[in-house]
Structure 1
């Protein structure tokens, strides 16, 4: 049975969303000290199973505090119920899985997540 986070996140696939970015590209994680190479934030008002709003990677290296884009994938974590949306600019042609893996490698551990591209219903 799919996790609550995966069901929630995949419902946003192929949808246009507004992301509030609280960790802009180039910033440091407040506790762990690693640098964010891409923008990271959340969908305001969309509560996730972990109690916070639904997280999102906005895959651009230009720092921002807000972005609109299309959800092209979901990072489905195996070790917790805290999946992340993968959002790109409306004008981008698309992005392949290898590029997503490379851009989220600063925070996501290979083998501990899958990239979901289809809604689970």
Structure 2
């Protein structure tokens, strides 16, 4: 049985500093082409990284899927990507995405 590939490339459509519907994005946010989410649009992703080169506005980001944010009161889920050798706790992810997830009843599922 082969190993599951959890590496994806995201197109960043809301780079760090973007103001969207009155919310300023403190992290890069985008989508993964070709994967359709529950809302019928391409899968949305948050980009988490402690590396300085990833804490600036990006156009694309390639990384590993480290978590899925399940929204109990929405039709879609959000994915979380990070650098290949980076790890984040559930609490660190919740804090990083709070700027948007505070409006939803959501939980974080970590991938090991």
**Smaller-chain TM-score bracket:** 0.7 to 0.9
Report the CA distance between 1:110 and its aligned residue.
7.4
TM-score by length of 1: 0.78
User: Partner of 2:93 in structure 1?
Assistant: 100
Equivalent residues in 2 for 1:1-121 (5 A)? 15-29=6-20, 32-60=21-49, 61-92=55-86, 94-109=87-102, 112-117=105-110
Q: CA RMSD in A?
A: 2.0
Which structure has more strand as a fraction of its residues? Answer: 2
Q: Which has the higher contact order (CA 8 A, sep 6+)?
A: 1
- The 2-side partners of 1:75 and 1:17 are apart by 16
Gaps of at least 5 residues in structure 2 are 50-54
Superposed CA deviations along residues 28-80 of structure 1, whole A, max 9, x for unmatched, are 11xx2110000111101111121110110011432101000000000100101
TM-score by length of 2: 0.84
Structure 1: which 4+ aligned runs deviate by more than 2 Å? none
- The 2-side partners of 1:54 and 1:64 are apart by 18
Contact persistence 1:14–1:72 (CA under 8 A): no
Aligned length: 104
User: Partner of 2:52 in structure 1?
Assistant: none
User: Partner of 1:4 in structure 2?
Assistant: none
Gaps of at least 5 residues in structure 1 are 1-12
